[in-house]
Chain A
């Protein structure tokens, strides 16, 4: 008995047991739902909500992760950041609010890690007023703890928020200083080292807009990318990603769609830079709940269709 325990216990942890029990509970629940529906009994919508909650909560409590492989549309952006020589100017525009943050903040943090690690000069700005608060999260979670040697104004600069939506872009495509005479800390444009040799967006090596609303990447493509012929890429909330695929690859060099895109980028970053192995990877962490929730939703669709066709056949017979 002792031998048996010593062989089994180190292999099976509380985490594994919790995960298996959760999966079994969800599977049993789906079977119960299927049988109940077959009998023609209605299912309260709140039971559906409960299933989704369980499918999301279980992988968060008992995490399991998948190894992600970057798809060409993500890899194209990663390779672009990789191929730029150190000291290149990359603009990251935080065009999102806290509502979109669970999806796109992981992308913003991953881009920051990658650019600063490569030694690029990063210019931060936002077309959403709330983007300023989201940048402070990047500052607190990434720049301050992981890149303490990077200096504000020398290695990166934060221009903050300017109202005006596409009007802002229409100005900075020809003149940065006109729209941003100072950075967010009121340091004059001329004294910021990052801007040496930079007059407008035309002088930038890469622009990445992170968001999913309006103003966002569409405005960046229309008012800056196509006008100034600057490489533009984006990381967006999944809900808008299908609308942006027509821009790839001609007008957008890369596209991260939703948390899957973030997970792929994080995975690629960790693979290429082992020093980020212990850094937080919220994108990869969220793929567990995503996968399980999608499986449950797909089960609902399959069950619903089976019930529909079964009932129709019964009606025809009767």
Chain B
């Protein structure tokens, strides 16, 4: 059985990679199997974990679980065209609850703390600690300050980008370009890692060429 699984994995991997040559039925088959298996996997996991594990086993002990169950049932009504509009109620609940859950945390962590992390003392490692920053830390602090300030100026479109304001915005573009470059480099590394993983599987696990 293990041998069969190995060959099946190799067959599907090669099927997906075959798209690089051109679109073909082998690729389409592999893609369809992947999508089907993923969807099936999630249905089974969510059924046993959520419906059975959370609701069915505890439905007598915790009456609030029925609220979730009923909202879930209403969501399924989307499948019936005539009463599909009812599914907007649970959807509204999800949007509201998620918005409420995220609002304060997002504001405090991604705005307040981030702003605080940007306003740095130039020559010290912390506020009120004197002049203890190394040369590298001072340069780093300056880069963060200049990069953030000029980047924000670039995205200020209420004033025409001319004169000193335009030059500041231009510096901001350079910082943004460097950020894009770093993101591209990391993306290449990420995609390469996935390719290495697959080729390692094909040459090592499947063909046995790598010890």
Using CB atoms and an 8 Å cutoff, list the residues of chain A in contact with chain B.
Answer: 46, 49, 52-53, 56-57, 60-61, 99, 101-103, 129-130, 161-163, 166-167, 170, 221-223, 226-227, 237-239, 241-242, 246, 250-251, 257-260, 286, 289-290, 293-294, 297
Contacts and interface: CB of A to CB of B under 8 A. Distances in A.
Contacts of B21: 46
Contacts of B183: 242
A290 B20 contact: no
B149 to A, nearest CB: 15
Contacts of A221: 109
A297 B188 contact: yes
A60 B193 CA distance: 12
Interface string B19-56: 01100000000000000000001100110011000100
B199 A60 contact: yes
Contact of A238 (B20, B101, B193): B193
A226 B179 contact: no
Interface of B: 20-21, 41-42, 45-46, 49-50, 54, 101-102, 105-106, 108-110, 113-114, 116-117, 179, 182-183, 186-200, 203-204, 209-210
A290 B187 contact: no
B186 A239 contact: yes
Given A46-B20, A258-B186, A250 B199 contact: no
A161 to B, nearest CB: 7
B50 A226 contact: no
A238 B186 contact: yes
B204 A60 contact: yes
Contacts of B102: 166, 222
Contacts of A237: 190, 193
10 contacts: A56-B195, A60-B196, A129-B41, A129-B42, A129-B46, A130-B41, A161-B45, A163-B50, A226-B109, A259-B193
Contacts of A46: 20-21
A102 B116 contact: no
B141 to A, nearest CB: 12
A227 B105 contact: yes
Given A57-B199, A239-B186, A286 B42 contact: no
**Interface SS majority for chain B:** helix
B14 to A, nearest CB: 12
Given A222-B109, A251-B113, A294 B188 contact: yes
Contact of A167 (B41, B101, B179, B187): B101
A226 B105 contact: yes
Contacts of B54: 163
Contacts of A238: 186-187, 189-190, 193
A55 to B, nearest CB: 9
Contact of A103 (B41, B101, B194): B194
B196 to A, nearest CB: 5
Contacts of B42: 129
B186 A61 contact: no
Contacts of A226: 105, 108-109, 113
Contact of B192 (A56, A130, A246): A56
B203 A57 contact: yes
Contacts of A290: 189, 192-193, 196
Nearest to B45: A129
Nearest to B22: A46
Given A162-B49, A167-B101, A61 B109 contact: no
